[in-house]
Chain A
Amino acid sequence: MKRINNPQALEEIREEIVGSRDPDKPCITICSGTGCHAFGCERVTEAFEAELKKQGLEERIDIRTTGCHGFCERGPIVVINPQKIFYQRVTLKDTEEIVSETLRKNNIIDRLLYSHPQTGEKIVKEDDVPFYKGQMRIIFGNNGNIDPTSIEDYLAIGGYKALSKVLTDLSPPEIIDMIKKSGLRGRGGGGFPAGVKWESCRNAPGDRHYVICNADEGDPGAYMDRSLLEGNPHSVLEGMMIGAYAIGSDEGYIYVRNEYPLAVNNVSIAIDQLRECGLLGENILGTGFNFDIKVNRGGGAFVCGESTALMASIEGQAGEPRAKHIHTVESGLWDKPTNLNNVETWANVPLIINKGVDWYTSIGTETSKGTKIFSLVGKVNNTGLVEAPMGMSIREIVYDIGGGIPGNGKLKAVQTGGPSGGCIPESLIDIPVDFDRLTEVGSMMGSGGMIVMDDTTCMVDIAKYFLNFLKDESCGKCTTCREGTRRMYEILDIITRGEGKEGDIELLEELSWVVSEVSLCALGQTAPNPVLSTIRYFRDEYNAHIKDKRCPAGVCKALITYSIDEEKCTACGKCKRVCPSDAVTGEKKVPHKIDPEKCIRCGACITECKFDAIEVA
């Protein structure tokens, strides 16, 4: 693309791009997020290309590979524009039919449509699918409309308009004032007001200021930042550029997990495009603003999501947090004033500038404005990324958007906030989701992971799972965190092995207090949350393990036995074939049996049995 030297040139190029595109031209949009990649969307794309060629339609029909549409459960997702026909679970075999039926004759293929789980009604348009209908996709929605590797696509939907506006019309204090008034709070977990942070950083003395985008999304079960960077990298970069201008910074960093190769790739392409057309570099849009961005790949340490650890990592050190009596906005990266925000926070910025503070503050609750992207995962029908206005209840998210619990399962708890968060029991799922209410009930917003658990999830096992994670990820600097999380894990392990004793719960509570009070960074301070929240709401499950030596959810191996329900068993022999320890016996046409001595409780027979005949007690 040619250089864009001033705001007028930007608008001219935008008009040129929009003018050259026919909005009514048919377009096959194929989701190419990591989820759909795993389902083989690349091969589907190739098949479409070959099919269009074969039928001589390359000129008349476009193909666009986009970022994540969010409904990962149903991938590969294909949307036919301009009608917005939503096809799900599209395979190679379907491509020929889609081209010859839908694109040529405008016939809709019923079997590829999404059918409403309750009514069975077939739904044609993407917006009418219940998963999307309940959402408010102001940040995430464009993912489905643009090719993330095309700057033209981003410009066509109004990209860099906000940047051009702030550089020409607004002074840095005016921008900061807007962000403060918008009530934008950090989406990475803490929920600190972004505008206040920007102001402190701007006012901090120093010859150089830095801005950082934290894309070290470490919370297991959360992937909204990855999908934003993959699917709409320019929106994040535009936010960073506006922030840099407001703060007075000329250098920015994106610290992204190396486990996200597609995100690293797409954001690097976007940066190269910006440099090429002069939107990054010196004298941006002829306004005298200089700014450039570097990409740093993380090393796979969870603690590097903490701001001071992340900065140490960029400096080439081991990622250990430091005490924050001097804030990073005053002394951060290379001891210079540094402003760090998370991916989703940055992506909110252009929107606030474009649509205004009044519009933005009309969304959300009193103390939490705007929307939040949640990753709705675990035991829920519609797994995927959900963008909802702050204040929506967990019930609405899980049932209306998420389609409820699969099979005959019963909702038991929803875990939010990653390893620093807690489990919210079914009795509290009507609370509105915002930063403050989640903290009140003993959890937190975190980066937006929302893991749904049903009655086959053991809460003691979940607490053990998180403590296992945290003991491994503790950087080791503070004794309480390094040793405390280990001791807590050991106690939980003993309980799940059926060797727990009276007083273990109290000991866990005591240790929790010490770990949270004495540790330096949020990892240690919040490490006991998964334990405390499960004890608070599911104490009877702990007691069942300790006193009755029983795991009510049927998870803890030492406390369960497998058996076969003779009524349900059809003697098909599947379980016998998959059993790795030869524990299943039985002849043809005779219900099978499991030898509890030989059984290693690996679960292979459960996943194979089509008749639900394996019982766990």
Chain B
Amino acid sequence: MGPQAIDRILKKYDYEHFAIIAMLQDLQDKENYLPEKDLEYISERLSMPLTRIYRIATFYNAFSLTPRGKHLINVCLGTACHVRGAARVLDRLKMALGIDVGEMTKDRLFSLETVNCLGSCALGPIVVIGNDYHGQMTPARVESTIKKYRKKSPRKKDEKD
């Protein structure tokens, strides 16, 4: 993100140190993750040690220091989803994507993450891809669900791994 765009975020919170979590949330909303150079810039602008920003960014689960794929897949592992077999759905997703939780596929299409509860327990096991909720998920439906997103975003020819 450009310095001006970052400054707009910082200004929104009056450059107040206590708003650092909200600032990082806004940055991540735009960038999908927290790029190192942006954090360095924020540290400089706020006169806040980079170590402190790093501590916040690694303490809170919602932040990611590595880039995420185009489609973020979140598997709910809340208790309700767990008793309805969420772990089996997650296993199947790992297999289908060939990545572990917290990783991104080589084609940068998918990132796989887990969340502790989305509060949509009636639909469990639930998988959220981007903003789409896929309820009552089964291991058998994993492949076909992912396929839809592969189709939605055909790889550009100039895209590299």
In the complex, are the beta carbons of B122 and A316 less than 8 A apart? Answer: no
In the complex, A313→B24 CA distance in Å? 13
B20-49: CB near A (< 8 Å → 1, else 0) gives 111001000000000000000000000000
B135-150: CB near A (< 8 Å → 1, else 0) gives 1001110000000000
In the complex, A227→B126 CA distance in Å? 18
Task: Count A-side interface residues using an 8 Å CB cutoff.
Answer: 61
| A48 close to B (CB within 8 Å) | no
| A223 close to B (CB within 8 Å) | yes
| B97 close to A (CB within 8 Å) | no
In the complex, are the beta carbons of A315 and B117 less than 8 A apart? Answer: no
A208-237: CB near B (< 8 Å → 1, else 0) gives 000000000111111100110000000000
| B65 close to A (CB within 8 Å) | no
In the complex, are the beta carbons of B135 and A603 less than 8 A apart? Answer: no
Chain B residue numbers with a CB within 8 Å of A375 are 80, 121
| A552 close to B (CB within 8 Å) | no
In the complex, are the beta carbons of A316 and B21 less than 8 A apart? Answer: yes
Q: Which of A315, A457, A605 contacts B83 (CB 8 A)?
A: A457
In the complex, are the beta carbons of A260 and B119 less than 8 A apart? Answer: yes
**B124 to A, closest residue via Cβ:** A377
In the complex, are the beta carbons of B83 and A302 less than 8 A apart? Answer: no
Count A-B contacts at CB 8 Å.
156
In the complex, A384→B80 CA distance in Å? 11
In the complex, are the beta carbons of A38 and B79 less than 8 A apart? Answer: no
In the complex, A219→B119 CA distance in Å? 9
Task: Count B-side interface residues using an 8 Å CB cutoff.
Answer: 44
| A80 close to B (CB within 8 Å) | no
Chain B nearest CB: distance from A317 CB in Å?
Answer: 8
In the complex, are the beta carbons of A313 and B83 less than 8 A apart? Answer: no
Chain A residue numbers with a CB within 8 Å of B126 are 38
| B84 close to A (CB within 8 Å) | yes
In the complex, are the beta carbons of B139 and A72 less than 8 A apart? Answer: no
In the complex, A475→B20 CA distance in Å? 19
Chain A residue numbers with a CB within 8 Å of B140 are 578, 604-605, 607-608
In the complex, A475→B58 CA distance in Å? 11
In the complex, are the beta carbons of A221 and B79 less than 8 A apart? Answer: yes
Chain A nearest CB: distance from B149 CB in Å?
Answer: 17
Chain B nearest CB: distance from A606 CB in Å?
Answer: 9
**A224 to B, closest residue via Cβ:** B119
Chain B residue numbers with a CB within 8 Å of A379 are 83-84
Given contacts A378-B84, A607-B138, contact A299 B91 (CB under 8 A): no
Given contacts A218-B116, A469-B116, contact A377 B122 (CB under 8 A): yes
Chain B nearest CB: distance from A90 CB in Å?
Answer: 16
A312-342: CB near B (< 8 Å → 1, else 0) gives 0111111100000000000000000000000
Q: Which of A35, A299, A603, A605 contacts B122 (CB 8 A)?
A: A35
**B77 to A, closest residue via Cβ:** A220
Chain B nearest CB: distance from A140 CB in Å?
Answer: 15
Tell me the B residues contacting A by CB distance below 8 Å.
16-22, 25, 55-56, 59-63, 77-80, 82-85, 88, 91-92, 95-96, 115-124, 126, 133, 135, 138-140
Listed from nearest, the 10 A-B pairs whose CB atoms lie closest are A299-B60, A223-B119, A72-B122, A38-B133, A300-B62, A220-B78, A377-B80, A316-B18, A377-B121, A220-B117
Residue contacts A-B, CB under 8 angstroms, 18 given: A39-B135, A222-B119, A259-B115, A299-B21, A299-B59, A300-B60, A301-B59, A316-B16, A316-B17, A377-B79, A377-B80, A415-B79, A453-B83, A457-B83, A469-B77, A469-B116, A580-B92, A580-B96
- If A462-B83, A580-B92, A580-B139 are given as contacts, then 16 extra A-B residue pairs at C-beta distance below 8 Å, sorted by A number, are A35-B120, A38-B135, A73-B122, A220-B78, A221-B79, A299-B56, A316-B20, A318-B59, A377-B79, A378-B84, A451-B83, A465-B82, A469-B77, A578-B140, A580-B95, A604-B138
Tell me the A residues contacting B by CB distance below 8 Å.
34-35, 37-39, 72-73, 75, 217-223, 226-227, 258-260, 296-302, 313-319, 375, 377-379, 383-384, 415, 418, 449, 451, 453, 457, 462, 465-466, 469, 473, 475, 578, 580, 600, 602-605, 607-608
